[in-house]
Amino acid sequence: MIFILFLAVEIATLQQTVAEQSNTIHQLQEGIRKKDEEITRLKSNACKVCNINVKSVVAKEGKLKNIFKYYSGITLVRFLALLTFLVPEGTSVKYNSLRGEVKNAKYNVFLLLTLCRLRHGFGLKDLAMRF
């Protein structure tokens, strides 16, 4: 009889431990979900911060005077004229690169990247992060 009481107490103790462990698991899963959401938000913000293209630089022109000229060395009007000269309307270039971001990039991004490299001497890793 004492043995049965001992087992009943042991079962009750184990059930309480299981309930506590289940609660802990639930809290940890909730914490993981929140951290995943935060990581997604931070990645989204990081992409907004580091990607430079003609549109983003022109958008900052109102806040920072001559920012386009700072990056490229030429005004936006001259940049567009140079782009039209180098890549006439209807021209297409085939890239042998297997990288999707290279195939999908626009000519104006390539030209801006080149001008930034020539003007400021940014390293390749720096340009990779910026663009």
Do residue 90 and residue 121 come from a single domain? yes
Among 49, 65, 86, give the residue marking a domain's end.
49
Do residue 1 and residue 41 come from a single domain? yes
Residue 62 has pLDDT above 90, yes or no: no
Mean pLDDT, range 1-18, rounded to an integer: 86
Tell me the per-residue pLDDT of 85-112, one tens digit each, with 9 for 90 and over: 888 777 766 666 666 556 556 788 888 8
Domain that holds residue 74: 51-131
| 3-state SS assignment for residue 106 | coil
Do residue 32 and residue 67 come from a single domain? no
Do residue 83 and residue 44 come from a single domain? no
Do residue 75 and residue 16 come from a single domain? no
Residue 21 has pLDDT above 80, yes or no: yes
List Cα–Cα distances, 6 to 17, 19, 20, 53, 66, in angstroms.
16, 20, 21, 73, 82
78-82 long-range contacts, CB within 8 A, separation 24+:
79/54, 79/108, 79/111, 79/112, 79/115, 82/111
Do residue 77 and residue 110 come from a single domain? yes
Q: Percentage of the chain surpassing pLDDT 70?
A: 79
- Place 13 in a pLDDT band, splitting at 50, 70 and 90: very high
Total number of domains constituting the chain = 2
pLDDT at 32: 93
Residue in 68, 48, 47 with CA at minimum distance from that of residue 59: 68
Do residue 103 and residue 58 come from a single domain? yes
Do residue 68 and residue 20 come from a single domain? no
